[in-house]
Amino acid sequence: MSAGTHHANASQLTANLWIGGDFEVTDPDLAALQVAELVAAGLSDVVDLRLEWDDEDWFARRWPALEYRWLGVDDAGQRMPGQWFDEGVGLILSRIEAGGVVLAHCHMGINRGPSMGFAVLLAQGWDAIEALDVIREARPIAYVGYAEDALNWWLRKQGASRADRAVARRRIAQWRRDNHLDVNAVIRRIRRKETAAKPAA
């Protein structure tokens, strides 16, 4: 759960773009509250970026009016391929341009969802640092672990020179120094909450 929502693990970046973490589909009552809250905020589309789970059947049964798309990838610190950003950003922008409100989410909402959100903001013309600032302000737990890959993807599409790409990478490196986040501590804190929330066997 984040600022602006009572039940959903989601954070709003713009009028048409949210980022976040899982829906609690193993708790149908809570999941219904989470989705209803976002639908009330205008949500029309869910783009699921988790390799480890796929909620397509659940959404088809419970919320058929929502468009659900699975673009699952691992979150293991690997390089994110440009094709993933091409597909995700293309899909999200097409839905936004059609008047949709899109949630890009992963498991915890730390890396994959925020990184895809960052790529969308870049494609919408945002400055990289301004985009990172908006993401961190909206979602303080967002590390945006694949921001460098997203920026490299976008600059290559724009035909940026190698020198310009190097400058852009240095700007992100400076942003990370200026906005340090102990991502391992964040993950441990979330996992403790998840464990505490599980019913005793």
Both tokens of 49, joined, read: 């970026």
- Answer whether 103's CB lies under 8 Å from 43's CB: yes
Question: Percentage of residues in the chain with pLDDT exceeding 70?
Answer: 96
Element (H or E) spanning 138, and its range? Answer: helix 128-138
Return the CATH number of the domain spanning residue range 10-197.
Answer: 3.90.190.10
Q: If you average pLDDT over residues 127-152, what whole number do you get? A: 97
Cα(112)–Cα(74) distance, integer angstroms:
9
Tell me the pLDDT of the chain averaged across its residues: 93
User: What pLDDT is stored for residue 134 in this prediction?
Assistant: 98
Distance between CA atoms of 21 and 110, rounded to whole angstroms?
Answer: 8
| Least trusted range by pLDDT, from 98-107, 144-153, 182-191 | 182-191
Q: pLDDT tens, 10-42?
A: 999 999 999 999 999 889 899 999 999 999 999
